[in-house]
């Protein structure tokens, strides 16, 4: 028997993957007896934010993930296709019908026992914890006790990630602070976007006037000073950013031989430098506003955003420190973590981690070694991200092109690159399912 705690997308998917193979499952869900600040019902798979499961544009990272889930006979994708509603190039669902479908399918499994009860201590035996970003205080305390309080986080403070191919490098320079000018090299730790006084003034004014997301009650958090939204810092004074995330100290622009008036630093997200993080630019600006304002930064005029910045309530684990390759806890290997708790962001990304946790628990029950998914697949790319990221800078991420290994054929043609990545991902995922299930 395998126990699953949490009836959201990840928990539902994990329970489904296990039970449909004939293995008894006990699924705990505290709703409706105890609701979270965001949930309204006791239905499994209830969506509390958007009803969109993102893009269905062929060869996009989100499309690749959907195809992989379909190939693995995902319950969540089955429900999405059964309850979809028109939404252009996005897969949107009737949220009530979607949750009802998932609930009915799970309730129809003969070997699945559903217990409506809050779990405050982790059960003995093989257990999957999939309680999501709004994990109850009692279970959060239990997880903190097991893995260490410093490894469990209760908020997201995320800066945008930029597609490297969309940066105008003629306006930027690679350099680490105090290392001196190295205009002919690309081995600096950071890519710097220098601003003149006029460029800074224009950016500052646009930032002050930009429209922001109003947090809902369950998203209200106390953010550490080091993770303060960039627009809040701007409210403290004209020069606050120049003494904070945009400080130019220790940097020399090789084009002028002088220190810039201000600078935005971009940190590589991976060894291949296919994506860059905007250092210190956590934000609550609305997504269109992020594009409008941040494209005022020299070099980012045509920036493509692989991930937008955000700050919101989200319990997650420092996965690189806490999790084994099979998503089990390093100091309690019979306990697996699934969904957003692992450090992924998004509905289907959470589903994917539920699917992998379910397969991992099954392999353990059968006495078999876990087979990790290929890194070239969407599932493997997500798993690689949460396990191999720098634990000092670990933040949740959704699926995006920068997480995939570069295609074997080097190309600057973005459409060709996406097609090559998609073809390889689905080929290797198909082969993986033949041996992993």
**CA–CA gap between residue 54 and residue 50 (Å, rounded):** 10
What is the structure's pLDDT at 184?
46
Q: How many CB atoms lie within 10 A of CB 305?
A: 19
> What pLDDT score does 152 carry?
76
H-type helices in 265-377, by residue range? 287-294, 319-322, 347-365
Pairing of strands 191-195, 173-174: antiparallel
Q: What is the pTM of this model?
A: 0.76
Kindly report, residue by residue over 360-386, the tens digit of the pLDDT: 999 999 999 999 999 999 999 999 999
Q: Which residues of the chain have pLDDT under 70?
A: 149-151, 154-157, 180-187, 215-227, 312
Q: Three-class SS of residue 371?
A: coil
How far is it, in rounded angstroms, from Cα 422 to Cα 63? 9
183: three-class secondary structure by DSSP: coil
CB 5 within 8 A of CB 143: no
Assess contact for 297 and 279: CB atoms under 8 A: no
In a 10 Å sphere around its CB, with 0-12 CB exposed, 13-18 middle and 19+ buried, how is residue 295 labelled?
Answer: middle
Whether the CB-CB separation of 352 and 69 falls below 8 Å is answered with yes
pLDDT value of residue 216 = 63
How large is the greatest C-alpha to C-alpha distance in the chain, in angstroms? 73
Say what the pLDDT of residue 384 is: 97
* Per-residue exposure over 369-404, b if at least 16 CB sit within 10 Å of its own CB, e if not: ebebbbbbbbbbbbbbbbbebeeeebbbbbbbbbbb
Angle (nearest 5°) at CA 428 between 57 and 105: 65
Structure confidence at residue 218 (pLDDT): 55
Q: CA distances (Å), 186 to each of 144, 189, 254, 321, in order?
A: 41, 9, 13, 30
Strand ranges inside 108-198, DSSP E: 112-115, 127-129, 152-158, 161-163, 173-174, 191-195
User: What's the DSSP call for residue 49?
Assistant: S
Q: What is the DSSP letter of 409?
A: S
Helices (H), ranges, 176-229: 197-209
Collect all residues with Cβ–Cβ distance below 8 Å to 237 and sequence separation of at least 6.
none
- Chain centroid to Cα 212, Å, comes to 21
Rg of the Cα trace of the chain? 22
Other CB atoms within 10 Å distance of the CB of residue 61: 25
């Amino acid at each position: 028997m395998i126990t699953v705690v949490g009836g959201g997308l990840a928990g539902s998917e994990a329970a489904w993957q296990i039970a449909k193979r004939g293995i008894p499952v006990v699924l705990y869900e505290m709703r409706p007896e105890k609701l979270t600040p965001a949930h309204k019902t006791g239905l499994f798979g209830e969506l509390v934010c958007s009803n969109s499961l993102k893009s269905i544009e062929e060869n996009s990272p989100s499309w690749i993930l959907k195809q992989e889930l379909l190939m693995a006979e995902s319950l969540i994708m089955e429900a999405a296709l059964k309850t979809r509603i028109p939404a252009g190039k996005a897969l949107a669902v009737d949220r009530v019908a979607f949750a009802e479908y998932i609930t009915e399918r799970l309730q129809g499994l003969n070997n699945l026992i559903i217990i409506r009860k809050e779990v405050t201590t982790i059960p003995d035996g093989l257990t999957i914890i999939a309680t999501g970003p709004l994990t109850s205080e009692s279970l959060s305390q239990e997880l903190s006790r097991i893995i260490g309080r410093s490894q469990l986080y209760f908020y997201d403070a995320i800066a945008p990630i930029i597609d490297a191919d969309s940066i105008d490098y003629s306006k930027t320079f690679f350099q680490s602070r105090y290392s001196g000018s190295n205009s002919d090299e690309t081995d600096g730790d950071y890519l710097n976007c220098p601003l003149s006084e006029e460029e800074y003034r224009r950016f500052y004014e646009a930032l002050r006037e930009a429209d922001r997301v109003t947090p809902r009650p369950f998203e209200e958090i106390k953010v550490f000073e080091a993770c303060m939204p960039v627009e809040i810092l701007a409210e403290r004074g004209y020069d606050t950013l120049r003494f904070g995330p945009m400080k130019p100290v220790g940097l020399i622009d090789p084009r002028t031989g002088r220190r810039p008036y201000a600078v935005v630093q971009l940190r590589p997200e991976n060894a291949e430098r296919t994506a860059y993080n905007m250092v210190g630019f956590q934000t609550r600006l609305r997504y269109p506003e992020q594009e409008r304002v941040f494209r005022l930064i020299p070099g980012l005029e045509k920036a493509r955003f692989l991930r937008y910045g955000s700050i919101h309530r989200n319990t997650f684990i420092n996965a690189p420190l806490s999790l084994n390759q099979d998503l089990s806890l390093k100091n309690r290997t019979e306990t697996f973590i699934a969904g957003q708790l692992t450090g992924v962001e998004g509905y289907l990304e959470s589903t994917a981690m539920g699917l992998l946790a379910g397969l991992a628990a099954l392999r353990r029950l059968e006495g078999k070694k876990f087979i990790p998914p290929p890194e070239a697949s969407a599932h493997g790319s997500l798993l690689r991200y949460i396990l191999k990221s720098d634990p000092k800078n670990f933040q949740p991420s959704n699926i995006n092109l920068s997480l995939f290994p570069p295609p074997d054929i080097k190309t600057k043609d973005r459409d060709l690159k996406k097609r090559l990545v998609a073809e390889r991902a689905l080929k290797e995922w198909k082969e993986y399912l033949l041996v992993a299930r």
